[in-house]
Amino acid sequence: MADYSRDEVLAKVRGGEKLARADLRGLDLSKAVLDKVDFRRADLEGANLEGAKLKGANLANANLVEAYLKDADLRDAKLDKADLEGANLERANLEGADLKRASLEGATLTEANLSRALVVNASLEMADMGGAKLEGATLSHAEMSEAYLGAAKAKGADLSNADLSRANLEEADLTEANLTEADLSEAKGPGANFTKACLQRANVSQAVLAGANLTGADLRGADFTRADLHGAKLTGAKVFGATFSEANLDEIELEFIDASTDGDGTRRITGDAALEMLRSGRPSAEVPGRRYFGKGDVMRNAALEFGDNSFVEIESRFEKCSIALGAGTELVVGDAGVLQSCTIEGAGNIIIHGRFLEEKSPGIVGPKRLIVSSRGAIQATVHQPEGHTQFAFEPGSRLRLNIVRPDDEKGR
C-alpha cells in the first residue's frame, strides 16, 4: 500500500515537498507534472508514470521495477543506480539523463530518446532498444548482452568496453561509434552501419554482420574469427592486427584496405591483394615487418631487434632474450606467450595477454605504451621514456610493477 494517494502526491509537489524514500508502489501518476521532484530512493515499483513530466527529476537509487514510463519526459533526470528492471520506457525522452549503473535488465526502451544520456556501467541485458536514439550517448562498460538494438540510431555513441555479446544490431546506425574493446561476439548485425566506427581490439568473433557497412572502420586488433561478413562493405577499413580466421568473406565490397600500423593510410592495399590479405586470416601476416613466434617454440639467449613500425606477436616461450623495439613497433605477447628473464627496450607499444616475468631490473625500458589485458601478468621494472609511458591495465590483470619516472637517475 502506497504512503500517499495521487492527489496527496500532487499536493506535496505543489508545496515543494520532497518525496525521497516515499512508498509510492503501484500509484497512478500518469501525465502528472513532476519536474525536478526529489524521488531519491523512492519505491515506485509498478507505478504508472505514462506521459509524466519528470524533467530534471531526481530518481537516483529509486525502485522503478516494472514501472510504466511510456512517453514519459525524463530529460536530464537523475536515474543513477535506479532499478528499472522490466520497466516500460517506450518512446520515453531520456535525453541527457544520468543512468550510470542503473539496472535496465529486460526493460523496454523501444524508440526511446537516449541522446547524450550517460549510461556508463548500466545493466541492459535483454533490454529492447529497437529504434532507440543513442546519438552521443555514453554506454561504455554497459552490459548489453542479448539486448535488441535493431534500427537503433547510435551515431557517435561511446560503446567502448560494452558487452554486446549475442545482441541484435540489425540495421542499427553505429556510424563513427566508439566500440573499442567491445564484446560483439555472436552479435547479429545484418545491414548495420559501422562506417568510420572504431572497433579496435573488439571481439567480433562469430558475429553475423552480413551486408554490414564497415567502410573506413578502424578494425585494428579486432577479432573476427568465424564472423559472417558475407556481402559486407570493407573499403578503407583499417585492419592491422585484426584476425579474420575462418570468417565468411564472400562477396564483400572491397576497393582497398588500410594495413598501416597507425591506421594513417600509409600502407594501402588494393583490389585482389586486399581480399587475399583478409582471406589469409591475419592481414598483418602479409605486412612487411611482421614477425610471428608460434606456440610450442622456445627461444633462449637471443638478441632480437625489430625495426620501426613492425608488428611482433609472440605465442612462444622466450628465455633470457633481449628485444629491441623500433619506434611505433607493436609487440603482442599472446595468451600462450611467456617472456621469462627477458628485457625489452625501445619506443614500441607492448601488449601483454600472456606473461612477462623479469629477472634482471629493469626488464622494460622506454615503452611508448604498455597494456596488460585481463588475462595478462607482468612482473617488471618499467623505466618510462621522456614524455612518460601510456599505461593501460584491464581488471583481472596481475601486476607486480615498479614504475620509474623518466628523469629518475636513482632508478637507472
- Taking the complex as a whole, the smallest distance from the CB of residue 3 to other proteins amounts, in Å, to 18
Strands 256-258, 268-270: parallel, antiparallel or unpaired by DSSP? antiparallel
Q: Which three cell numbers stand for residue 187?
A: 552479435
Site for other proteins in 151-180 (CB under 8 A): 160, 178, 180
Cα separation, 80 vs 57, in Å, equals: 12
Which residues are registered as beta bridge partners of 365? Answer: 345, 383
Q: Binding to other proteins by residue 295, rule CB under 8 A?
A: no
Of 54 and 229, the one with the shorter C-beta distance to other proteins is 54
Q: Which three cell numbers stand for residue 175?
A: 556510424
Query: Number of residues in contact with other proteins, rule: CB under 8 A?
Result: 46
Among 15, 16, 296, 395, binds other proteins (CB under 8 A): 395
Q: Binding to other proteins by residue 404, rule CB under 8 A?
A: yes
- Taking the complex as a whole, the smallest distance from the CB of residue 181 to other proteins amounts, in Å, to 9
Q: Binding to other proteins by residue 340, rule CB under 8 A?
A: yes
Among 355, 362, 364, 366, binds other proteins (CB under 8 A): 355
- Taking the complex as a whole, the smallest distance from the CB of residue 4 to other proteins amounts, in Å, to 19
Cα separation, 38 vs 44, in Å, equals: 13
Hey, what's the torsion of the CAs at 237, 238, 240, 245, to 10 degrees?
-30
What is the DSSP secondary-structure string of 345-372?
EES-EEEESSEEE-SSS-SEES-SEEEE
Determine contact, residues 352/330, Cβ cutoff 8 Å.
Answer: no
Q: Binding to other proteins by residue 378, rule CB under 8 A?
A: yes
Least Cα distance to 22 among 47, 55, 51 occurs for 47
In sequence order, the 6+-apart residues with CB closer than 8 A to the CB of 113 are 91, 92, 93, 94, 95, 132, 133
Q: Binding to other proteins by residue 80, rule CB under 8 A?
A: yes
Q: Binding to other proteins by residue 373, rule CB under 8 A?
A: no
Which residues are registered as beta bridge partners of 357? Answer: 340, 379
Give the CB-side neighbour count of residue 41, counting CA atoms within 13 A. 2
Type of residue numbered 376: G
Site mask, other proteins, residues 211-250, x = CB under 8 A?
Answer: ----------------------------------------
Q: Binding to other proteins by residue 203, rule CB under 8 A?
A: no
Angle at 351 between CA 118 and CA 262, to 5 degrees: 75
Of 97 and 254, the one with the shorter C-beta distance to other proteins is 97
Hey, what's the torsion of the CAs at 52, 55, 61, 64, to 10 degrees?
20
Among 2, 33, 304, 357, binds other proteins (CB under 8 A): 357
Q: Binding to other proteins by residue 400, rule CB under 8 A?
A: yes
Of 70 and 81, the one with the shorter C-beta distance to other proteins is 81
Q: Return the number of other C-beta atoms located less than 10 Å from residue 409's C-beta.
A: 6
The DSSP letter of residue 77 is -
Q: Binding to other proteins by residue 389, rule CB under 8 A?
A: yes
Which stretch in 73-81, 107-115, 246-254, 291-299 sits in contact with other proteins by CB under 8 A?
A: 73-81
Q: Binding to other proteins by residue 282, rule CB under 8 A?
A: no
- Taking the complex as a whole, the smallest distance from the CB of residue 338 to other proteins amounts, in Å, to 7
Among 17, 290, 402, 409, binds other proteins (CB under 8 A): 402
Q: Binding to other proteins by residue 399, rule CB under 8 A?
A: yes
Cα separation, 345 vs 324, in Å, equals: 5
Among 338, 342, 347, 350, binds other proteins (CB under 8 A): 338
Q: Binding to other proteins by residue 299, rule CB under 8 A?
A: no
Among 2, 275, 299, 403, binds other proteins (CB under 8 A): 403
Among 12, 41, 226, 230, binds other proteins (CB under 8 A): 41
Work out the end-to-end distance of the chain between its first and last CA atoms, rounded to an integer number of angstroms.
70
Find cell 519536474 and name the residue: 35
- Taking the complex as a whole, the smallest distance from the CB of residue 140 to other proteins amounts, in Å, to 9
- Taking the complex as a whole, the smallest distance from the CB of residue 378 to other proteins amounts, in Å, to 6
Residues that bind other proteins (CB under 8 A): 20, 38, 40-41, 58, 60-61, 78, 80-81, 98, 100, 118, 160, 178, 180, 338, 340, 355, 357, 369, 371, 377-379, 384, 388-405, 408, 411
